[in-house]
Amino acid sequence: MQNRLRNQAAMLFGALLLSVSTFAFADDIQDASKLFKQGQHGPALDKVNAYLANKPKDAQARFLKGLIFTEQGKTSDAIKTFSSLTEDYPELPEPYNNLAVLYAGQGQFDKAKTALEMAIRTHPSYATAHENLGDIYAKMASQAYDRALQLDRGNTATQTKLAMIQDLFGRGKRPTPVATSKSEATTKPVVASSSNDANDGEVLKAVKSWAAAWSSKNVKKYLSFYADEFATPNGESRGNWEALREDRISKPKSIEVGIENPSVSFSDSNHATVTFRQTYRASHLKTAGNKTLEMVKSGNQWLIAAERAR
C-alpha cells in the first residue's frame, strides 16, 4: 500500500509539473520547474524562494516548493507548505491530495482520509483523489481485518478478505469497480445518435452562457444552469453545495473562464454530453484541463446534470 501511494504521488508530480510549465511564469519559476524536472532540487528551491520573496502568495510557486520538499524527503516542510496552501486557496484540490499522500506515508491514514475528502469536496471529479481515497480505505480495512484475525484466528472469511487486499496491493492490480460515485452513476452513456447543428448550437449556447455567468461572478445566474437532479459531491445537500460554490466564486477579485474546442454528443433528444478544454484564470490562479458536462433538457433550457474533469 505504501509503495502504491508513492507511485501515485510520483505520477501526480509529473502531471502537475506539466501544468506548471504551461503558465506564463516569471523566468525564475520557469527555470525552477526545469531544474526540478532535471532532479536539481537545491537550485530549483533557490529559484522558487527568490520568486516568492517578491510574490509570497503565488499559489503555483508555493505548490512547486511543496513538490521540491517532498522529493528532498523533507516531509514536515512539505506538509507545512501544502497545509498553508489549503488555508489560503481552499478551492485547489491538489494540495489536499499531496497532503494525503504524505500523511499516508507516515501511517496517518485518518488524516489522509480527511485530506482526500476535502479534495473531492472541492473538486468532485478529481479522479486521482478518488483513487487514492479508495486505497486509503483498503489500507484501513486491511488493518481492521488483521486486528480481527488476532482476536479470532479461525475466522476464514476474514482471512480471505485480508488475502484479497494483500494480493491486490502486492501485485499492483486494481479490481474492477463494482460501484461509481454519485456523479458518475447518474451519467447516461453516450451513444451514436442523430443530431443537427441547431441542437448542437442550443447546447453550446447554454454551456457558454454558464461560463459567462461564472466569469462575471454572477452567482445566481451561474447556479441557475444546474438541474434539480444535479449530482452534488459526496451526496451533500444542494444548499451546502451552493453555499460552497458562492464562496469560491465570490473570493477572487476576477475570474475568466474559457471554453475551447467543444464537442457535443446526444444519447437521446433530451440528453447530451459536452466535452471541451476549460481554461480558468483568477486573481492568483491559472489552470487548464479537459471537462465533461452531462446536459439534460428541461423545457426549452439545457441544464447541467453532472460535471467532471478529466
Identify the CATH number of the domain in which residue 252 sits. 3.10.450.50
Question: Do residue 127 and residue 211 come from a single domain?
Answer: no
Residue range 276-292, pLDDT digits in tens:
999 988 877 888 888 88
CB 257 within 8 A of CB 241: no
- Domain at 68, CATH number: 1.25.40.10
100/144 same-domain check: yes
Q: What is the pLDDT of residues 58-67, one digit of tens each?
A: 888 899 999 9
Whether the Cβ atoms of residue 273 and residue 292 lie closer than 8 Å to each other? yes
- Whether residue 163 is contained in a domain is answered as no
Shared domain check, 240 and 110: no
pLDDT single digits (tens) 98-139: 998 888 888 888 899 999 999 899 888 878 888 888 888 878
How many Å apart are CA 9 and CA 17, to the nearest integer? 12
Do 268 and 190 fall into the same domain?
A: yes
User: Average pLDDT of the chain?
Assistant: 77
Average pLDDT over every residue of 146-169: 67
In the predicted structure, residue 217 carries a pLDDT above the cut 90: yes
In a domain, 165, yes or no: no
Please report whether residue 177 resides in a domain. no
Position 32 in a domain: yes
Kindly state whether residues 81 and 191 are assigned to the same domain: no
Between 214 and 133, the higher pLDDT residue: 214
List, in sequence order, every residue forming a beta bridge with 289; answer none if it has no partner: 278
Domain count, the chain: 2
> Residue 261 pLDDT more than 80?
yes
Q: Which residues contact 215 (CB under 8 A, 6 or more apart)?
A: 255, 256, 257
C-alpha 211, offset from chain centre: 19
Residues 61, 117, single domain; the answer is yes
One domain, residues 154 and 92: yes
Domain of residue 72 covers 2-158
Q: How many CB atoms lie within 10 A of CB 289?
A: 12
Cα–Cα distance, 137 to 139 (Å, whole number): 5
pLDDT digits (tens, 9 = 90+) for 17-40: 333 333 334 567 788 888 888 888
Are 214 and 249 within 8 A, CB to CB? yes
Residue 172 has pLDDT above 50, yes or no: no
| Residues 109 and 202 reside in one and the same domain | no
Note the helical H segments in the chain. 2-22, 27-37, 41-54, 59-71, 75-88, 93-105, 109-122, 127-151, 156-171, 182-185, 197-215, 219-223, 238-250
- List Cβ neighbours of 250 (8 Å cut-off, separation of 6 or more): 217, 219
**122: exposed, middle or buried (Cβ count in 10 Å: 0-12, 13-18, 19+):** buried
297 lies in some domain: yes
Q: Is residue 273 domain-resident?
A: yes
